[in-house]
Amino acid sequence: MANELGKIAVFGAGAIGCYVGGTLSAAGYTVLFFGRPRLQKVIEAHGLKLTDWRGRDQQLAPADVEYLTTYERMAEASLILVTVKSRHTEDAAKEIAKHATPGALVVSFQNGVRNADVLRKHLHSFQVLGGMVPFNVLTKEGGHFHCGTEGHLIVEKAPSFEEVWGSAFEDAALPVEHHPDIKGILWSKLMLNLNNATNALSGVPVRDQLLHPLYRKCMALCVSEALATTKAAGIRMRRAGKVMPWLIPVVLRLPNWLFMFVASKMIQIDAEARSSMWEDLHLRRPTEIDFLNGEIVTLAEQQGLKAPCNQKIVELVHEAEAKKEGSPRVAPEVLYKALLDART
């Protein structure tokens, strides 16, 4: 059955791409990973190791992982999973248009609300579906990718994916929910992703950061602005999983003892998990900030509103990118004061 479905390409095989593609490969599907020479070298030496917080522990030998740095063999794929950061989506779309076989199904597994639209703009002969990745994947040493949080993948409802590929993801123990309003899901996910920057600026693991009331209040300020902005723009958010976006600021402002009780699921996170934006700063790479908090700033401007806390966060992340010194490790009281000052 696995071979009858054809090959799966992962475009931008980093944390999410190696984890999702690796689990599909471990389940017997043929996966072609397209990525950078840096990771190709690591995987040629070590293969892929995939673990998760529930005890998944899979190892693929180097010979079992086809990690490619040129795109010619993308023509072999019937399903293409796009897992680059949002700032690389346009490049990815152009390469897919050039090398893939028209008619292939393309799924965006990225944060941000516009990636599927960007892909569609360049991929007229392909079916493009939006998707959402709820869990966190950490890149560790030696080709090891660790999923540190729970959650199901969500893909835009379409028979071409649901009926053909749904069982492949189940075989890989990555069940997919198929949703008719993926945009609503992605806007709702964006509310949670507004914390990526706070986490990157804090320099501490997500769990430690969420257990600090002032870091939580920073996130609450950003999410409150985002909720007001999306409401003004008439954007309807869909609840994904257990989190109700409109309640996020209320829950974040609870005192620690109550927060730990009410948000017990939210803090059931691997002690090492960090946002991929922290990883970008750590590796001295530009981040996705313009597609996350920046999205709220732009939307606010379009609505004649202001989003000063998100604006401040965007500035602080750009400063950190320019310094190339990793996370600036901003203390909670300093960050919270900076956001309050930005509002006055």
Ligand X SMILES: NC(=O)c1ccc[n+]([C@@H]2O[C@H](COP(=O)([O-])OP(=O)(O)OC[C@H]3O[C@@H](n4cnc5c(N)ncnc54)[C@H](OP(=O)(O)O)[C@@H]3O)[C@@H](O)[C@H]2O)c1
Residues forming contacts to ligand X in the complex (CB under 6 A) are: 12, 14-17, 34-36, 39, 83-86, 88, 91-92, 95, 110-111, 133, 136-137, 139, 276, 285, 288
Work out how close the CB of 88 gets to ligand X at its nearest, in angstroms, rounded to a whole number. Answer: 4
Distance between CA atoms of residues 241 and 259, nearest Å: 18
List Cβ neighbours of 262 (8 Å cut-off, separation of 6 or more): 251, 254
Work out how close the CB of 288 gets to ligand X at its nearest, in angstroms, rounded to a whole number. Answer: 5
36-52 CB burial, b ≥16 within 10 A, e <16: eeebbebbeebbbbbbb
Nearer to ligand X, 40 or 167 (CB): 40
| Tokens linked to 141 | 């040493």
Nearer to ligand X, 22 or 47 (CB): 22
Locus of tokens 């794929």: 77
Nearer to ligand X, 29 or 291 (CB): 291
Work out how close the CB of 35 gets to ligand X at its nearest, in angstroms, rounded to a whole number. Answer: 4
List Cβ neighbours of 268 (8 Å cut-off, separation of 6 or more): 149, 150
Determine contact, residues 342/308, Cβ cutoff 8 Å: yes
Work out how close the CB of 205 gets to ligand X at its nearest, in angstroms, rounded to a whole number. Answer: 13
Distance between CA atoms of residues 96 and 123, nearest Å: 8
Nearer to ligand X, 39 or 172 (CB): 39
Work out how close the CB of 34 gets to ligand X at its nearest, in angstroms, rounded to a whole number. Answer: 5
Work out how close the CB of 208 gets to ligand X at its nearest, in angstroms, rounded to a whole number. Answer: 17
Residue nearest to ligand X (CB): 14
Determine how many CB atoms are found less than 10 A away from the CB of residue 172.
22
Nearer to ligand X, 86 or 327 (CB): 86
